[in-house]
Amino acid sequence: MGKPIIATTSLAGCFGCHMSILDIDDRILKLFELIDFDRSPINDIKHISQRCAVGLVEGGCANEENVVVLQEFRQNCDVLVSVGDCATMGGIPALRNTISLKECLDEAYLNGPTVFNATGKVPDSEDIPLLLNKVYPCHEVVKMDYHLPGCPPPADAIWEALVALLNGKPLELPYELIKYD
């Protein structure tokens, strides 16, 4: 039996949570002894190629491509974990949720005080995924098994989570590692 496989992805997030993964410092060497990475921004693999033990998802679900990625992760990972506040509650991107999408786009591309946009149009192409009406926490789109809140979650929380999950244990974080900020 080979090493357990882990996949990670960042949806509507800032990659800060992935930075926090790297923040486990020298333990990362140990991590690489224990596991292999499949799809992840760390190795730039674009699609999951094999069954994964754990999937880590950063960021909320903001567009149709995010939905596809979440489905891919759900289908191919035994355990799926929301990492960070964007994944667990929408985070900063979800600030747009109380404003209509059209208003948001118009402000960003047409009306905002710092906008210079000679085309006078909101960019659009087949290659740009359609935005969702609002940003969803991941667990409102597909079933997520665990949540690591925090902006970002402390590296220790990520480490504890991985150690527990790779040992087939339920994830129970101590008081000091559940923080929403």
Partner 1 sequence: MTENRAGTVRRICQDHGGDRTRMMDIVLAVQKEFGYVPSAMMDVIAAETGSHRVEVESVVSFYAFLSSRPKGKVIIRLCDDIIDQMAGAERVRQVFEEELGIRVGQTTADGRITLEHTPCIGMSDQAPAALVNDVVVTELNGDKAREVARSLLEYMDPDRLVREYGDGNNAHELIQSMVHNHIRRRDQVILADMTPGEALNKALAMSPAEVIRDVNTARLRGRGGAGFPTGMKWNFTRRAAGTDRYVVCNADEGEPGTFKDRVILTEATDLMIEGMTIGGYAVGANTGIIYLRAEYAYLRAYLEHALEERRRQGLLGKSICGKQGFDFDIRIQMGAGAYICGEETSLLSSCEGERGDPKNRPPFPAEKGYMGKPTTVNNVETFCCVARILEKGPGWFAQIGSEGSSGTKLLSISGDCRGPGVYEVPFGISLREVQRMAGAVDTAAMQIGGPSGQMVGPEDFDRSICFDDISTGGSIMIFGADRDLLHVVDQFMAFFIEESCGYCTPCRVGNVLLRKRLNAVRQGLGTAADLQYLQELGETVKLASRCGLGQTSPNPILTTLERFRPLYEAKLKAEDDGLLSTFDVRSAMSEAEAITGRSSVHFSKA
Partner 2 sequence: MGDKITFTIDGKDIEADAGQTILEAAEAAHMYIPRLCAHPDLQPYGSCRVCTVLVDGRPQSACTQPVAAGAVVESGTDKVTEIRRQIIEMLFVEGNHYCMFCEKSGNCELQALAYRFGITAPRYPYLFPHRDLDATHPDVFIDRNRCVLCGRCVRASRDVDGKNVFQFVGRGPEKRIAFNSEANLAGTNLDVMDKAVDVCPVGAILRKREGFRIPVGRRAYDHVPIGSDIETTAAK
**Site residues (vs partner 2, CB under 8 A):** 82, 85, 88-92, 94-95, 97-98, 134, 137, 139-140, 144, 146-149, 151, 172-173, 175-176, 178-181
The position carrying tokens 């009406």 is 133
Nearer to partner 2, 34 or 74 (CB): 74
| Contacts with partner 1, 32-51, as mask; x by CB under 8 A | --------------------
Question: Would you state the structure tokens that stand for residue 65, as one six-digit string?
Answer: 């491509």
Q: How would you classify the pairing of strands 77-83 and 52-58?
A: parallel
| 102 makes contact with partner 1 (CB under 8 A) | yes
Angle formed by the axes of helices 27-34 and 155-166, nearest 10°: 20
Candidates 72, 104, 47, 88; CA nearest to 173 is 88
Interface with partner 1 (CB under 8 A): 61, 64-65, 67-68, 71, 74-75, 100-102, 105, 122, 124, 126, 129-134, 136, 139-143
